[in-house]
Amino acid sequence: MTLQLRLRSRGYRVPAEPFLAATEDRVRLAGHRLGNGATALVFCHGFLGWHRKARLVPFQEQLAAHFTVYAFDFRGHGASGGKSTFGVDEAKDIATVVGLARREGHERVVTLGGSMGGIAVIRHAALVGGVDGVVSVSAPARWEGHDSEAVRRMVWLTATPAGRWLLRAGGVRIAPTWQRADDPAELVERIAPTPLLIVHGRDDHYFNEENAWLLYRRAREPKRLLLASRFGHAEDGYSHAFADRVAREVLGALAGVRA
């Protein structure tokens, strides 16, 4: 982890234990485990994030009041190795941490991811499976076709030499080429019968509300769609109240009760 990221990180104010894990393609992942809930929740950050990012830590701490939270850095981010593939190979990272939670005795494991993490949890649940619930926040339904200023800035960062230099300086390492992958909307129906919660802000400045509706229409039951008027994009909406709402929705779905 770079000095810049260390300075912008925050320690946990609840008991947290560090862990290391290696993926099937030999990428080392670094993370922390916090809370002692019967159900494990694998927390997946977005592109340019890391699990100890200052604005993400309080959200994880609140989730830990309900779950055992496994928070980690995706490949190419933070203290983990490898290079980012924008949510494609990140499904392998999730499979590794889900496997760790299972080995540590959790019979029920759910995943929660925002933005790139939202793409990754959809891909993991559809292509790998083995989880009991999925929460995708602010995920695009398709890779292409987004004309927002925020997406244009992200394309510049990832596709130009100057942008890639800035990413490396900020501690993010990305793959030299992007492998073509199925759109999330093409995969989401495969998640059933695992419960799926799709969350999106109507004021999302990256991906418009139609992305959430497309994912929801393509998904099969059991599924749930939550739209918020003042939520923003992914971590913008990660409040204590939202953590408690996620817990009610997830634990209710696992118990067969609609929150």
Position 192 in a domain: yes
For the cut 80, the answer to whether the pLDDT of residue 65 exceeds it is: yes
Position 102 in a domain: yes
Instruction: Provide DSSP, 106-128.
Output: -SEEEEEEETHHHHHHHHHHHHT
- pLDDT (tens digit, 9 = 90+) per residue, 70-95? 999 999 999 999 999 999 999 999 99
Find the CATH number of the domain harbouring 23. Answer: 3.40.50.1820
Position 165 in a domain: yes
- SS3 of residue 195 by DSSP: coil
What is the pLDDT averaged over residues 1-22?
85
- Cβ(175)–Cβ(83) below 8 Å: yes
Domain range for 150 is 3-254
Position 22 in a domain: yes
Residue 191 to residues 90, 197, 219: CA-CA distances in angstroms? 17, 11, 7
- Per-residue pLDDT at 157: 94
For the cut 60, the answer to whether the pLDDT of residue 259 exceeds it is: no
For the cut 80, the answer to whether the pLDDT of residue 37 exceeds it is: yes
- pLDDT (tens digit, 9 = 90+) per residue, 153-212? 999 999 999 999 999 988 899 998 877 899 999 999 999 999 999 999 999 999 999 999
For the cut 80, the answer to whether the pLDDT of residue 45 exceeds it is: yes
Q: How many domains does the chain have?
A: 1
Instruction: Name the percent of the chain lying above pLDDT 90.
Output: 91
Q: Which residue has the tokens 């093409």?
A: 186
What is the pLDDT averaged over residues 42-50?
97
- Cβ(65)–Cβ(30) below 8 Å: no
Position 259 in a domain: no
Position 42 in a domain: yes
Question: 149-159 and 161-169 helices cross at what angle (nearest 10)?
Answer: 90
User: Alpha helix (H) ranges present in 51-148?
Assistant: 57-63, 90-103, 116-127
Distant-in-sequence, close-in-space partners of 116: CB < 8 Å, separation ≥ 6: 45, 46, 47, 74, 84, 86, 87, 90
